[in-house]
């Protein structure tokens, strides 16, 4: 049921809790439910009021934390993070929360999203003597805060955050205070909950359900929530701009049992599948979804068309770093590493294969081949979102326009490349209808940058080159 790496990867999930005797343990479980947002590092910082305690490591949560590690994280406040990282920079030093110590005390910091003006800010800071120890964009905030030497954490943030452009849910914690902040467009989700007297904050509401916390509300764009001994306080560090919640969170990234701005993700996906069926019906015998993220859309498609939904593809759940990968020779001999087609289901059938996205096109091509090799008579590919024609700069790893197949080929050319019998995408309007955010209402806009090339924030020159100009 969890999204898998396939060319679209979000960077990170956040969880924080304020005022609970089992803060570290609850953060561990909260992070477990956010594991799909980052699988290359996990960390927890706690405060016992006197001192910060930290444990973090590379890998899955169960790899990064061993028996006993939680016991060494005392205190009633905790901040946790799971990290996704592109190859080569997945070292320990980039695992979050980052942790800084100075004469004035300690600071821990965790971040979900991506800053588009990171490179420029970093150059500037380095020129004036700053040393960066990580290659994360997250560290920039610490340096900016340090340059504004207010004594108050909240004032440091109010001065530093407006210098950032991009997507960010930030959480910073000192011995005495926890502050979370959401960027002015609200590109990434961030929700507030309550567990008894304790406050919890998480990237997705599924974390609340797991630990038995109640959802309170979503953090607002440009809002800072301050937690300290006096309670919780809401402040603004800037005016909110037009809301631009990432569409991809609904389509692909978030867990189906999470609600984003009170819209359930599974339900939204099923509606996308139904809408797709309305726009791009086809005569077929079975509908199947590409696990895990496209199952809901496939069920919606089946329901709308009355074509039976079947389990035509199954995922092999190799878990963790200790799994022994097959040799290249074995892979070529046909050992399936991610998906298998279920011959008993697809043989001799006309199959509708519902997926949620095509990035480079190679995965889709492989799945079509799997189905045909298992005897499918026809394979009709249906994508429950519009074509991705531009890169994302806000925390999803979709590389450059050049590498996006839909930016460079027509739908018919793509269909041919992947060997499908037909290929259809959902329309932009269909996407909006399916998700069901009423964007005539305030704060209900959504980012469609990867589908349209229209980005909610400025894009610095260095980045602009990545946008390039595809065929569409």
Q: List binders of a copy of itself among 121-160 (CB under 8 A).
A: 122-123, 126-135, 142-143, 146-147, 149
Binder of a copy of itself out of 50, 86, 318, 439 (CB under 8 A) = 318
- The answer to whether residue 103 forms part of the interface with a copy of itself (CB under 8 A) is yes
Is the peptide bond between 235 and the residue preceding it cis, with omega within 30 degrees of 0?
no
Binder of a copy of itself out of 211, 359, 404, 423 (CB under 8 A) = 211
Residues near 327 by beta carbon (within 8 Å), at least 6 away in sequence: none
Compute how many residues bind a copy of itself; rule: CB under 8 A.
Answer: 96
To a copy of itself, the closest distance from the beta carbon of 43 in angstroms equals: 11
CB nearer to a copy of itself: give 341 or 396. Answer: 341
Judge whether 206 is annotated as a binding position: no
* Strand partners of residue 79: 16, 45
What is the C-alpha separation between 29 and 65, in angstroms, rounded? 12
∠ CA 470-471-472 to the nearest 5 degrees?
A: 85
The interface with a copy of itself within residues 385-424 (CB under 8 A) comprises none
From 96-104, 220-228, 388-396, 422-430, give the range in contact with a copy of itself by CB under 8 A: 96-104
The interface with a copy of itself within residues 237-296 (CB under 8 A) comprises 255-257, 259, 262-267, 270, 291, 296
To a copy of itself, the closest distance from the beta carbon of 269 in angstroms equals: 9
Q: Pick from 31, 84, 427: which is nearest to 204 by CA?
A: 31
To a copy of itself, the closest distance from the beta carbon of 56 in angstroms equals: 8
Catalytic residue among 12, 207, 224, 265: 12
CB nearer to a copy of itself: give 142 or 431. Answer: 142
Q: Pick from 162, 168, 200: which is nearest to 186 by CA?
A: 168
Residues near 30 by beta carbon (within 8 Å), at least 6 away in sequence: 15, 17, 80, 200, 202, 207, 210, 211
- The answer to whether residue 335 forms part of the interface with a copy of itself (CB under 8 A) is yes
Binder of a copy of itself out of 5, 49, 50, 66 (CB under 8 A) = 66
Torsions phi, psi for 55 (to 5 deg): -140, 130
CB nearer to a copy of itself: give 54 or 232. Answer: 54
To a copy of itself, the closest distance from the beta carbon of 387 in angstroms equals: 26
**Token code pair at residue 308:** 């039976």
Q: Pick from 361, 362, 359: which is nearest to 399 by CA?
A: 359
* DSSP state, residue 99: E
12 classed as catalytic: yes
**Token code pair at residue 303:** 């329901």
* Strand partners of residue 99: 108
Q: Residue 250, Cβ neighbours under 10 Å: how many?
A: 29
From 183-191, 239-247, 337-345, 444-452, give the range in contact with a copy of itself by CB under 8 A: 337-345
Q: What residues are annotated to the active site?
A: 12
């Amino acid at each position: 049921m969890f999204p898998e790496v396939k060319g679209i990867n979000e960077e990170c999930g956040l969880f924080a809790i304020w005022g609970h005797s089992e803060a570290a343990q609850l953060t561990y479980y909260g992070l477990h439910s956010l594991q799909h947002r980052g699988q290359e590092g996990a960390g927890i910082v706690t405060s016992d009021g006197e001192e910060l305690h930290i444990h973090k490591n590379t890998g899955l949560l169960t790899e990064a934390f061993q028996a006993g590690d939680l016991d060494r994280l005392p205190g009633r406040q905790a901040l946790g993070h799971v990290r996704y990282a592109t190859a080569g920079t997945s070292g320990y030093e980039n695992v979050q929360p980052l942790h800084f110590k100075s004469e004035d005390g300690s600071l821990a910091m965790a971040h979900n999203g991506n800053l588009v003006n990171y490179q420029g800010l970093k150059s500037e800071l380095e020129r004036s003597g700053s040393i960066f120890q990580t290659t994360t964009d997250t560290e920039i905030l610490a340096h900016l805060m340090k340059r504004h030497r207010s004594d108050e954490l909240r004032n440091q943030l109010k001065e530093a955050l407006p210098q950032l452009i991009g997507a960010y849910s930030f959480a910073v914690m000192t011995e005495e205070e926890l502050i979370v902040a959401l960027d002015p467009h609200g590109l990434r989700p961030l929700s507030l909950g309550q567990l008894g007297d304790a406050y919890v904050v998480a990237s997705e509401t599924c974390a609340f359900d797991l630990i038995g916390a109640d959802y309170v509300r979503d953090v607002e764009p440009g809002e800072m929530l301050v937690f300290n001994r006096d309670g919780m306080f809401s402040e603004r560090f800037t005016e909110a701009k037009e809301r631009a919640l990432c569409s991809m969170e609904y389509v692909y990234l978030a867990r189906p049992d999470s609600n984003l701005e009170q819209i359930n993700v599974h339900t939204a996906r099923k509606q996308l599948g139904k809408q797709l069926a309305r726009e791009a019906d086809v005569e077929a015998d079975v509908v199947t979804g590409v696990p895990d993220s496209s199952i809901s859309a496939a069920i919606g498609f089946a329901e709308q068309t009355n074509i039976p939904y079947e389990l035509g593809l199954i995922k092999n759940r190799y878990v963790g770093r200790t799994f022994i990968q097959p040799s290249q020779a074995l892979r070529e001999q046909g050992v399936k590493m991610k998906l298998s087609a279920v011959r008993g289901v697809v043989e001799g059938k006309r199959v509708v294969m519902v997926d949620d996205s095509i990035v480079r096109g190679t995965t889709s091509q492989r799945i079509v081949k799997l189905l045909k090799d298992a005897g499918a008579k026809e394979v009709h590919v249906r994508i429950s979102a519009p074509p991705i024609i531009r890169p994302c700069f806000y925390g999803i790893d979709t590389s450059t326009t050049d590498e996006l197949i839909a930016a460079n080929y027509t739908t018919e050319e793509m269909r041919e490349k992947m060997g499908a019998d037909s290929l259809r995408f959902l329309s932009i309007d269909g996407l909006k209808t399916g998700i069901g955010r009423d964007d005539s209402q305030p704060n209900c806009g959504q980012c469609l940058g990867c589908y349209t090339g229209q980005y909610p924030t400025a894009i610095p020159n260095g980045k602009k080159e990545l946008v390039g100009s595809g065929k569409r």
